[in-house]
Amino acid sequence: FFFSLANGYVSQFLDEMYSNRPYEQNFQDVNGRSFLMKLLSMKYFVGLEKYLPDGYEKVNEVIIPYDEDEKKKIENVQGEEESLGEEIKNEELLEEAQENQEGHVIGIYEDEDALPLAYTYDSYIPRETYEEMNVMERQQAVLQGVVLEDSSLPVCEPEDESVEVSYTITPLENCELFENRIKAKEDNATCLLTFEGVPNSELYIAFDNLRYLEVNRRHKYTDEEWAALPWKERRTYRIRDESVANQADIYFEADLDGETTRKSIFLITNRNNFYNGRHNFMNMVGYSEEPVTSVLVTFSEKGSYKYDDLSVYFQPTDKLDSYASERMEDTAENLSIENNEISCQISLDEPKALVFAVPYGDGWTATVDGEEAELLNANTMFMALELSPGEHDIQLHYTTPYIKLGLVLTVFGLLLLAGCVVFEKKRRVK
């Protein structure tokens, strides 16, 4: 399920790609994953250089002055006990201050080969085939062939360049290991993942069906057993469990080409108001030219972290530009976005699917050369048109679903209200 005010196709896409955040209504990036950034036509990256994805070059920088609270932390006058997340932020703040006393140096980076808003494919991946892939295969496949339910285009057989490596988990501070479960006996428990690294690659840590089980009584019962408990007993347990955390972070710290980077997965439980049932998560720790051989993992909250599978992947990026070049062999011209419409022209030498990096929705309609055309759901999240060879004029139009019906009902309601007012006045006069 998903937040009803957000786009359900976006939610499904983030779930399929193991987003490291559980929210679909507010995701600010894709964790620096270069394949997804390319797919989503992300031309710019703004942030610290050590978190820079592969393929981006610096074009500018800005200095954001430290605020008063940050200045106090830099001067080490704030001695309050802080959460792990705050400690990590403060460590990074002090590292920045050593390099620049004026403020945060935020770089602006550009991908000169970023995909445009509309790009093309000459082959497709059947939806059924795509769903059988693991998450690493998926993020590579969507740049090689468009994912459609069915198509007249040739079937794509995507390459998989990712490397899954075996690993060892070593418990460190306040950490205990079980089969498919890591127990944090206290907040900020740590363990160490070690493995054989791969050069010139992005490092990924993936969890299948990851659940954070807080230290509470509810998790001792199945849903059926919980429902069978007396109401008063369930109420007592809920009250006792109110003080237990309903969210947690898992932090991943690694040395990438001499820079220490820290990234995280954010988890929420079914007691959190924003819980949406998502349990597959993956964190892109970072890109490194030198092989990375270990990651320090920290669990912000005590409790159990259960999973069906934990995988470590390396993703070489040397073929990323060639995949992008194929998508830009035929590009849309005169593309414009005005009000609720997107328009463009394109000339093709062979049948292709034109994909728009715009979320698919029920309110969109399309015309090709003045005639109504079927708008397809592509790559789970986007829209596509299948086009024949030749020159085409394309128009996409968006209308909020049920807006006309809503307007009619609103007018009807106002007329009914006016009629009631008139009737009541006449009744009082009599």
β-sheet bridge partners, residue 343: 336, 395
- Are 233 and 226 spatial neighbours (Cβ–Cβ below 8 Å)? no
Q: Which of 321, 308, 253, 298 is nearest to 115 (CA)?
A: 321
Q: State the Cα–Cα distance between residues 161 and 203, nearest whole angstrom.
A: 13
Q: Check residue 310 and give its pLDDT.
A: 97
Q: Check residue 16 and give its pLDDT.
A: 94
Check whether residue 179 and residue 97 sit in a common domain: no
Check whether residue 305 and residue 181 sit in a common domain: yes
Q: Does residue 261 belong to any structural domain of this protein?
A: yes
Tokens of 275: 């819980």
Does pLDDT of 77 surpass 70?
Answer: no
Give percent above pLDDT 90 in the chain: 60
Q: Does residue 80 belong to any structural domain of this protein?
A: yes
CA pseudo-torsion sign 371, 377, 383, 385:
negative
Q: Check residue 427 and give its pLDDT.
A: 78
Which of residues 272, 299, 317 is at a domain's end?
317
- Domain that includes residue 76, residue range: 32-113
- CA angle 313-292-141, nearest 5°? 30
Check whether residue 109 and residue 207 sit in a common domain: no
CA dihedral 396, 398, 402, 404 (to 10 degrees): -90
Does pLDDT of 5 surpass 90?
Answer: no
Q: Which of 356, 408, 324, 406 is nearest to 144 (CA)?
A: 324
Does pLDDT of 399 surpass 80?
Answer: yes
Q: State the Cα–Cα distance between residues 384 and 386, nearest whole angstrom.
A: 7
What is the pTM (predicted TM-score) of this model?
Answer: 0.82
Does pLDDT of 85 surpass 60?
Answer: no
Domain count for the chain, please give it.
Answer: 2
Q: Does residue 229 belong to any structural domain of this protein?
A: yes
Tokens of 32: 């620096």
Q: Does residue 27 belong to any structural domain of this protein?
A: no
Check whether residue 73 and residue 169 sit in a common domain: no
Which of residues 288, 317, 346 is at a domain's end?
317
pLDDT in tens, 162-216: 999 999 999 999 999 999 999 999 989 999 999 999 999 999 999 999 999 876 6
Check whether residue 299 and residue 197 sit in a common domain: yes
Amino acid of residue 174: N
Does pLDDT of 222 surpass 70?
Answer: yes
CATH of the domain at 170: 2.60.120
430 pLDDT tier (thresholds 50, 70, 90): low
**Number of neighbouring beta carbons within 10 Å of residue 375:** 18
Interval 17-32 mean pLDDT: 81
pLDDT in tens, 279-310: 999 999 999 999 999 999 999 988 899 999 99
